[in-house]
Homo-oligomer: A and B are copies of this chain.
Amino acid sequence: MNFVPGFKLGILGGGQLARMLALAAYPYGFQVYIYAKDPKEPAAQVTPHVFVGEPHDREALKNFLRQCDAVTFESEFLDATLLEGLCQESRVSVFPSPSLMGLLQDRLTQKQILFKHKIPTASYQEVSSESDFQKLKTFSKDVVLKQRRFGYDGYGTFFVNTTKNLLLWKKELQAKSAHGFIAETRIKFKRELALLLARDRHGQIVHFPLVESKQTNARCDWVMGPIQHPREPQLRKSLQLFLKKINYVGVMAFELFDTGQELLVNEIAPRVHNSGHYSLDALTLSQFQAHVLAVADCKLPSPQVLSAFAMANLLGQSTPIPQWDADWFYKNPSSQLHWYGKADSRKDRKMGHINSLSSTPQKALKQAQRARKKVRL
């Protein structure tokens, strides 16, 4: 590729993912354009090129797109049809493509595309009518109901025992049914893993190491790696083929269930992901670098692991002023703080994270958890 100084990278969204994408773009000499709801958002703090607008504001979006050489997004929950039309009008490309974003933002079409490409995943059933709901009784005893759109961090996810409390949930869900649901067989897993792949506009695909991730109260608590799994090479091959077949560009995150026997894909995110934040410190290429390079028409270098690692999220508590035990960090320099610069803290809000390096993932995790206690949130 031709490296273009001054390349104008547009990012739809102003949160921490957009901020870390922006910071990854700068060492390549790129300029960063941010489309955010509020100039106080994390990503709007790190560029002079801030466009304030609502996600559905046609004119504001079009005006933004026209400033950029290529555009990406930090959340897949945008209006795919609107965005696709604006891309054609403004002749500016959005990566990953709005049509793929549209397919993957909907858990039903996401499941359909996974099955179509023979990616191992839990079986599912659409739940959009009364009769769909009745069929659940024969589908599985334990199901997970997931809102088709706008679900994240556990929002819109419900665990149902179809022999015991199906009717109870039916009422609950009818109230929240605006987006429809899918039901999945509830998988008994030993642990959750995650895998990131990135594909550039030239078709080259690179992969990041397999990691274990721990969810607590449906939110990512920590991540550690690299993890070995005998099924990983085969799954990775399938996923690489999948990215190629759908002509995907950018980082894609795969959340996985390790059942002990097999690796099943739980969910896909067509973007950089919390499970890849460790890559800022532990690899020669971060997920944010990989994503911006792919979007900017550069070929991707293959990330190398520098050290075993762990990441611990810093979730908001009551007090808005965090305190940091600098003496501890002084004595433990292999733990790095990443703070997102959010204007307000609130309970369980992702305020930052800590990356720790050590000789094993387990030691790194202990270190990251110790480090987390040294930041009072």
Contacts and interface: CB of A to CB of B under 8 A. Distances in A.
Interface of A: 1-6, 19, 23, 26-32, 39, 44-48, 50, 204, 280-281, 284-285, 298-304, 306-307, 321-324, 326-327, 329-334, 336-343, 352, 357, 375
A229 to B, nearest CB: 23
Contact of A336 (B27, B302, B322, B323): B27
A285 B333 contact: yes
B301 A3 contact: no
A284 B352 contact: no
B339 A28 contact: yes
A45 B327 CA distance: 34
A3 B333 contact: no
A338 B27 contact: yes
B46 A324 contact: no
25 contacts: A2-B324, A3-B323, A3-B375, A4-B321, A23-B23, A23-B27, A26-B45, A27-B336, A27-B339, A29-B340, A30-B341, A45-B47, A47-B48, A204-B330, A284-B333, A284-B336, A298-B324, A298-B326, A299-B326, A299-B327, A299-B329, A299-B330, A301-B330, A301-B331, A301-B332
Contacts of A1: 324, 326
B339 A5 contact: yes
A153 B343 CA distance: 42
A219 B44 CA distance: 37
Which of A30, A46, A352 is the most central at the interface, judged by chain B CB atoms within 10 Å of its CB?
A: A46
